Amino acid sequence: MPTPSAVPLPPASGAWREGDPPGRRQWHIREKPLALEAGGELPRVQVAFETWGKRAPDGSNAVLVLHALTGDSHVSGSAGPGHPTPGWWNGLVGPGLALDTDRWFVIAPNVLGGCQGSTGPASPRPDGRPWGGTFPRLTQRDQVAVEADLAEALGIDRWALVIGGSMGGMRALEWAVSYPERTDALLLLATTAAASAEQIAWAGVQSHAVRDDPRWHGGDYHDAAPGLGPHAGLGLARRIAHMTYRSEPELQARFGRSPQGSEDPWDGGRYQVESYLDHHAAKLVHRFDAGSYVALSEAMNTHDIGRGRGGASAALRRVTARTLVAGVSSDRLYPPSQQAELAAGITGADHLRVIESPYGHDGFLIEVEQVAGLVSELLGS
What is the domain range of residue 368?
12-197+304-379
Instruction: Report the pLDDT value the prediction gives residue 4, as an integer from 0 to 100.
Output: 46
CA dihedral over 95, 97, 101, 104, signed as positive or negative = positive
Residue type, 191: T
Q: What separation, in Å, do the N-terminal and C-terminal C-alpha atoms of the chain show? A: 46
Instruction: Report the pLDDT value the prediction gives residue 351, as an integer from 0 to 100.
Output: 86
For 356, other C-beta atoms within 10 Å of its C-beta total 10
Are 164 and 189 contacting, i.e. CB atoms less than 8 angstroms apart?
A: yes
Q: Is residue 294 part of a domain?
A: no
Query: Into how many domains does the chain fold?
Result: 1
Instruction: Round to whole Å and give the CA distance between 319 and 181.
Output: 9
Q: Please give the positions annotated as active site.
A: 166, 331, 361
Where the chain has pLDDT below 70, the residues are: 1-6, 348-350, 381
Q: Is residue 245 part of a domain?
A: no
Instruction: Report the pLDDT value the prediction gives residue 347, as an integer from 0 to 100.
Output: 76
Instruction: Report the pLDDT value the prediction gives residue 160, as an integer from 0 to 100.
Output: 98
Helices (H) and strands (E) in the chain, counts: 11, 10
Q: Is residue 132 part of a domain?
A: yes
Question: Which residue, among 4, 46, 1, 52, has the nearest Cα to 24 in the 3D structure?
Answer: 52
Are 63 and 104 contacting, i.e. CB atoms less than 8 angstroms apart?
A: yes
DSSP 42: E
Q: Give the pLDDT confidence of 302-314 residue by residue, as tens digits.
A: 999 999 999 999 9
Q: Is residue 268 part of a domain?
A: no
Q: Is residue 109 part of a domain?
A: yes
- Cβ neighbours for 330, distance < 8 A, ≥ 6 positions apart: 247, 249, 250, 357, 358, 359, 360, 363
Q: What is the pTM of this model?
A: 0.96
Question: Which residue, among 305, 299, 308, 247, has the nearest Cα to 273 in the 3D structure?
Answer: 247
Q: Is residue 242 part of a domain?
A: no
- Cβ neighbours for 129, distance < 8 A, ≥ 6 positions apart: none
CA dihedral over 332, 337, 343, 346, signed as positive or negative = negative
Are 111 and 143 contacting, i.e. CB atoms less than 8 angstroms apart?
A: yes
Are 240 and 293 contacting, i.e. CB atoms less than 8 angstroms apart?
A: no
Instruction: Report the pLDDT value the prediction gives residue 3, as an integer from 0 to 100.
Output: 44
Q: Is residue 155 part of a domain?
A: yes
Q: Is residue 358 part of a domain?
A: yes
Are 163 and 375 contacting, i.e. CB atoms less than 8 angstroms apart?
A: yes
Kindly provide the b/e burial profile for residues 309-340, where b requires at least 16 CB atoms within 10 angstroms of the residue's own CB: beebeebbeebbbbbbbbbbbbbebbbbebbe
CATH number assigned to the domain comprising residue 81: 3.40.50.1820
